[in-house]
């Protein structure tokens, strides 16, 4: 089987912010165990910024972008040093791969990144993947490595995605606050839990939380990949999660419907810059037929988006039913709302969102 394992900052660093060598050792031991069983493994790891904070002996994690990027550069090499040292014990070769969001949205870059990852697996390497925070042109975003792990799982056609965190899995409430919170063992592909807004804080060392884990599980589910959210410190956690051992974590079952990498990005990873609300007729047409969204079906527009931006599509009740890359600006969409194609101003595209750039999020 092909497995993607993601470990977060809070699980791979100490409370002081240093890279936790024991955590890296335990993870690499499990990677080696899977490799001996004939499985292919890719690791998505956080911890570069935290490693930089410790290396430069800072008292706290800064918040400004230039410093965060500098810390990522300082910490990334130390992070890889730990992985290389622990993988060397098993005669395994770690291969650093730094990705940015454009590696998933740009078709050429996507194919290039996919080819590199697959070739590394063919060569017997263990890809160790992180976001390229040091040169990212956008802000270091909340939960990016969770989403990257899900997108990587899709790109390499992984069988299982394992998200290691500081909780046993998904609970009905935050177990740190609510003593009555109960553990959820399995989430089906059509379960509303995949849309739940869970906690978004992972503490001072991390940038994700259960919300980003759920978002990643949703991406993976729509990719046909089984996902497990599990406690990083549980003995044999990766092997047991892969084998579906009861109580090894919360399992998210895959959907039958699979999206392309580009549509996965549009649906779950791209940042939205606005929205359009559609009338009931357009809502029904989008839900039932593979059609584009035209100006005639739009009733209102919010936000300040440009051509190529990702926006949400809301039904008359304000429920998000789709996301897509728009073919018009917000000004053009507002001016054309409710108009037939022949009544649009000259030069305005007839399609608000083309069906090839549109992802329907309802059944």
Same domain, 54 and 203: yes
Same domain, 227 and 281: no
Same domain, 220 and 290: no
Same domain, 243 and 343: no
Mutual angle of helices 144-155 and 107-122, in 10-degree steps: 70
Same domain, 49 and 182: yes
Residue range 309-315: mean pLDDT, rounded: 94
Percent of the chain with pLDDT over 90: 56
Q: How many domains does the chain have?
A: 2
pTM attached to this predicted model:
0.81
Same domain, 231 and 330: no
- Asked if the model's pLDDT at residue 298 lies above 70, the reply is yes
Three-class DSSP category at 71: helix
Instruction: Name beta bridge partners: 265.
Output: none
For position 333, which CATH number holds? 2.30.130.10
Three-class DSSP category at 220: helix
pLDDT in tens, 31-62: 999 999 999 999 999 989 888 988 898 888 88
pLDDT in tens, 130-176: 988 787 665 545 446 888 899 899 889 999 999 999 888 888 887 88
Question: What range defines the domain where residue 247 resides?
Answer: 2-262
pLDDT in tens, 326-337: 999 999 999 999
Same domain, 84 and 177: yes
Same domain, 12 and 79: yes
pLDDT in tens, 167-212: 888 888 878 888 888 889 999 877 765 554 444 444 434 444 677 7
Q: How far apart are CA 329 and CA 295, in angstroms?
A: 12
| Nearest residue to 291 (alpha-carbon basis) of 214, 204, 212, 358 | 358
Where a domain ends, among 262, 284, 304?
A: 262
In the structure encoding, which two tokens stand for residue 202, read together? 């992972």
For position 200, which CATH number holds? 3.40.1160.10
Same domain, 225 and 113: yes
């Amino acid at each position: 089987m092909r497995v993607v394992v993601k470990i977060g900052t809070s699980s791979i660093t100490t409370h002081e912010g240093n890279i936790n060598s024991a955590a890296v050792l335990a993870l690499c031991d499990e990677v080696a165990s899977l490799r001996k069983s004939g499985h292919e493994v890719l690791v998505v790891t956080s911890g570069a910024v935290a490693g930089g904070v410790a290396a430069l002996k800072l008292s706290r994690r800064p918040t400004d972008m230039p410093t965060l990027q500098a810390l990522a550069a300082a910490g990334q090499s130390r992070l890889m040093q730990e992985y290389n040292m622990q993988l060397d014990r098993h005669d395994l070769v770690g291969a650093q791969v730094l990705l940015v969001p454009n590696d998933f949205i740009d078709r050429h870059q996507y194919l290039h990144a996919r080819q590199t990852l697959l070739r590394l697996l063919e060569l017997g390497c263990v890809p160790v993947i992180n976001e390229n925070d040091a040169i990212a042109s956008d802000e270091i975003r909340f939960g990016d490595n969770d989403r990257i792990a899900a997108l990587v799982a899709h790109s390499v056609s992984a069988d299982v995605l394992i998200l290691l965190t500081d909780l046993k899995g998904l609970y009905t409430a935050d177990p740190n606050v609510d003593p009555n919170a109960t553990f959820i063992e399995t989430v089906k592909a059509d379960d509303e839990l995949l849309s739940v807004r869970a906690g978004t804080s992972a503490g001072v060392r991390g940038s994700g939380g259960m919300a980003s884990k759920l978002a990643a599980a949703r991406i993976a589910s729509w990719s046909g990949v089984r996902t497990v959210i599990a406690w990083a410190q549980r003995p044999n956690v990766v092997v047991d999660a892969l084998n579906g051992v009861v109580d090894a974590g919360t399992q998210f079952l895959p959907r039958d419907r699979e999206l392309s990498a580009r549509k996965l990005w549009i649906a779950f990873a791209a940042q939205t810059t606005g929205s359009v609300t559609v009338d009931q007729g357009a809502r029904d047409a989008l839900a039932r037929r593979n059609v584009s969204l035209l100006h005639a079906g739009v009733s209102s527009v919010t936000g300040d988006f440009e051509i190529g931006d990702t926006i949400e599509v809301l039904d008359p009740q304000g429920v998000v039913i789709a996301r897509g890359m728009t073919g018009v600006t917000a000004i053009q969409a507002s001016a054309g709302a409710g108009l037939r194609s022949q009544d649009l101003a000259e030069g305005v595209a007839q399609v608000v969102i083309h069906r090839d750039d549109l992802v329907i999020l309802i059944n």
